[in-house]
Amino acid sequence: MVKHATYVQYRTMINCHLIPSLGHVFVQKLTPQHVQAFYAQKLKEGLKPRSISVIHGILHTALENAVKWSLVSRNVASLVSVPRAEVHEVHPLTSDEAHKLIEAARGHWFEPILILAVTTGMRRGELLGLRWDDVDLKRGMLHVRRTMNKYSGHDVYAGYGVVENDPKTRTSRRRILLPDVAINALKDQHVLQDAARLKAGDKWQGKNLVFADQCGDFLNPQRVVRHFQSLLGKSGLPHMRFHDLRHSAATILLTMGVHPKVVQELLGHSTIAMTMDTYSHLLPSVQRDAVDKMNEAFRFDGQSSESGEGN
């Protein structure tokens, strides 16, 4: 968890949470009870378990160094229970539902974002950090080289705003071949953005973003989520997270018989085991299809498609 946190996130967690709550306690006097009560208070204040996990990682690393330097005899952060991050139930779209959602977005500025999300499985931050330099429309591909995050919390060092990071993992930095529908969506987006640039004039930011606001600056991720939820309601589909579009891309491909290794590389998972674990619920139907194909391959002339065991 911690190794993917950004410098801004570290400073925010330290200055806004750790120092105000535990900064008055000498490290030699710090107890597991102090830390456990601190986590409980943060939960009560509404901080998410995932953020508390980041704080825990920072505190654990700091105390581990204190043990190495003989400032304390034990790492008290190892003796507490860390709140578990909530597990979201995955609600992937079927191919028909994806078509229905895209139709609901037809002609809307959100349409190309939606098409890329459901056909490439890119994360929201990867889409909003995408630049035209990363896109090769002639060859029909793009490169995922960065991700964008917006931090709502602030301190005297971090402030508000957007932070660009490297992709989540080494394998998240990847090349994606695009289907025709995505290529056409990007071509349309280029035309629309040229018109927006002319309209904005000197106010245009010139950040070369594929998906930008009316002045060429980063789109607010929450604005993307709001429009996505609005389109779900318009199309009569149940509530789901934007991230479920990533799951939808994988689900559609796997149910069409695409090899899990290809899906792993498309999504940028670090291992194929991660892909298989995430989408293990699809395996029974995929295996059934494989058995049917095997039956077809080894069916001889005159053999019935249905055969029982011999007496």
Q: Is residue 104 within 8 Å of 236, Cβ to Cβ?
A: no
Per-residue pLDDT of the chain (311 residues; tens, 9 = 90+): 333 444 555 666 777 888 899 999 999 999 999 999 999 999 888 888 888 888 998 999 999 999 999 999 999 999 999 988 666 667 789 999 999 999 999 999 999 999 999 999 999 999 999 999 999 999 999 999 999 876 544 443 344 467 777 776 788 899 999 999 999 999 999 999 999 999 999 999 989 999 999 999 999 888 999 999 999 999 999 889 999 999 999 999 988 888 889 999 999 988 888 888 777 766 666 666 767 778 888 876 555 545 444 44
pLDDT value, residue 73: 95
**Which tens digits make up the pLDDT trace of 28-53?**
999 999 999 999 999 888 888 888 88
pLDDT value, residue 39: 93
pLDDT value, residue 1: 34
Kindly report the three-state secondary structure assignment for every residue of the chain.
CHHHCCHHHHHHHHHHHHHHHHCCCCHHHCCHHHHHHHHHHHHHCCCCHHHHHHHHHHHHHHHHHHHHCCCCCCCHHHHCCCCCCCCCCCCCCCHHHHHHHHHHCCCCCCHHHHHHHHHHCCCHHHHHCCEHHHEECCCCEEEECCEEEEECCCCCCCCCEEEEECCCCHHHCEEEECCHHHHHHHHHHHHHHHHHHHHHHHHCCCCCECCECCCCCECCHHHHHHHHHHHHHHHCCCCCCCCHHHHHHHHHHHHCCCCHHHHHHHHCCCCHHHHHHHCHHHHHHHHHHHHHHHHHHCCCCCCCCCCCCCC
pLDDT value, residue 31: 96
How much is the mean pLDDT over the chain? Answer: 85
pLDDT value, residue 113: 97
Supply the pTM of this predicted model.
0.69
**Which tens digits make up the pLDDT trace of 210-267?**
999 999 999 988 899 999 999 999 999 988 999 999 999 999 998 888 888 999 999 9
pLDDT value, residue 294: 80
